[in-house]
């Protein structure tokens, strides 16, 4: 409409040698009126949209969690791919890794600092392994117990135990990643720690992994040990819960 108005009032007939100032003025005023009407219409449309949110939009805005990972690639990439698969906004789930400063204690320190600097989250999940950390691992668990906003997502010996649980109820005794890697490769030929697309390779077996993780945890409690356990299933269930809120 704006373009038509401009042409209607600005084209000059070849037969005329003088510009009609009155017509030019009228054309300019008409264009201004059209632009003003268009701007006001969009203003009220946008204001109405932001004022009256659907219930699910309000729920989404209220649900916000932070995930702090010890690993630089495997864990962050896995959770990012899961969030993408469930179409969860980056505003709902923030995924942060500690870089090359890898230790359970560093995960907790960074989680507390990030939460303080970037506003409150509904929950802050600290993802780390026991694998070779010893004292730092225990310090991290103790500090998390003293802060209600923090949730420990720890694995013994490592995150890769969660991968293995996608295939069977593994109750072996592994002390570190090097011990568990051959078992993963026997289930996933071509697997390596730096591989891309891990989530896509195992996502169809997520529910199996959750049930196997719960079983492994129960067996470890009966034996009075934390060997061959992981809390990753708790975080995965939370991510699925947030995804479910979008569909309600």
Q: According to the model, what pLDDT value does residue 31 have?
A: 45
Q: According to the model, what pLDDT value does residue 26 have?
A: 59
Cα R_g (the chain), whole angstroms: 29
Half-sphere CA count of 140, side-chain side, radius 13 A? 29
Q: How far apart are CA 27 and CA 53, in angstroms?
A: 40
Q: According to the model, what pLDDT value does residue 45 have?
A: 41
For residues 91 and 137, membership in a common domain is answered with: yes
Domain termination site, one of 13, 30, 51: 51
The reported pTM is 0.74
Nearest to 197 by CA among 94, 98, 70, 74: 74
For residues 172 and 126, membership in a common domain is answered with: yes
For residues 201 and 177, membership in a common domain is answered with: yes
Cα torsion angle, 147, 152, 157, 160, sign: negative
Q: Write down the H helix ranges in 13-101.
A: 21-51, 55-62, 74-85
For residues 226 and 164, membership in a common domain is answered with: yes
For residues 179 and 120, membership in a common domain is answered with: yes
User: CATH code at 136?
Assistant: 3.40.50
For residues 97 and 188, membership in a common domain is answered with: yes
Q: According to the model, what pLDDT value does residue 203 have?
A: 98
In tens digits, the chain (248 residues) has pLDDT values of 444 443 343 443 444 434 454 554 455 456 445 444 544 344 334 433 333 334 344 344 568 999 999 988 999 999 999 999 999 999 999 999 998 778 999 999 999 999 999 977 999 999 999 998 889 999 999 999 999 999 999 999 999 999 999 999 988 889 999 999 999 999 999 999 989 999 999 999 999 999 999 999 999 999 999 999 999 999 999 999 999 886 66
For residues 68 and 39, membership in a common domain is answered with: no
For residues 40 and 64, membership in a common domain is answered with: no
For residues 128 and 26, membership in a common domain is answered with: no
Q: How far apart are CA 52 and CA 47, in angstroms?
A: 9
Domain residues for 138?
Answer: 55-245
Q: According to the model, what pLDDT value does residue 10 have?
A: 41
For residues 44 and 64, membership in a common domain is answered with: no
Give the 3-state secondary structure of residue 130.
coil
Number of separate domains in the chain: 2
For residues 70 and 159, membership in a common domain is answered with: yes
For residues 89 and 212, membership in a common domain is answered with: yes
């Amino acid at each position: 409409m704006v373009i038509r108005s401009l042409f209607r009032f600005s084209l000059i007939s070849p037969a005329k040698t003088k510009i009609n100032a009155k017509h030019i003025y009228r054309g300019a005023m008409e264009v201004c009126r059209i632009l003003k009407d268009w701007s006001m219409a969009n203003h009220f449309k946008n204001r109405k949209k932001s004022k009256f949110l659907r219930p699910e939009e309000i729920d989404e805005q209220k649900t916000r969690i932070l995930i702090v990972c010890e690993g630089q690639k495997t864990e962050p990439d896995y959770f990012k791919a899961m969030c993408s698969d469930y179409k969860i906004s980056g505003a709902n789930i923030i995924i942060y890794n500690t870089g090359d400063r890898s230790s359970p204690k560093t995960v907790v320190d960074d989680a507390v600092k990030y939460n303080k600097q970037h506003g409150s989250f509904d929950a802050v999940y600290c993802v780390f392994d026991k694998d070779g950390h010893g004292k730092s691992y225990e310090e991290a668990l103790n500090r998390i117990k003293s802060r209600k906003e923090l949730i420990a997502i720890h694995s013994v010996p490592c995150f890769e135990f969660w991968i293995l649980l996608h295939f069977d109820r593994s109750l072996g005794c592994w002390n570190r990643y090097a011990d568990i890697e051959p078992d993963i490769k026997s289930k996933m030929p071509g697997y390596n720690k730096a591989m891309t697309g891990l989530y896509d390779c195992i996502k169809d077996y997520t529910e199996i992994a959750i049930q196997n993780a719960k079983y492994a945890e129960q067996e470890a409690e009966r034996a009075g040990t934390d060997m061959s356990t992981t809390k990753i299933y708790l975080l995965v269930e939370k991510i699925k819960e947030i995804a479910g809120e979008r569909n309600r």
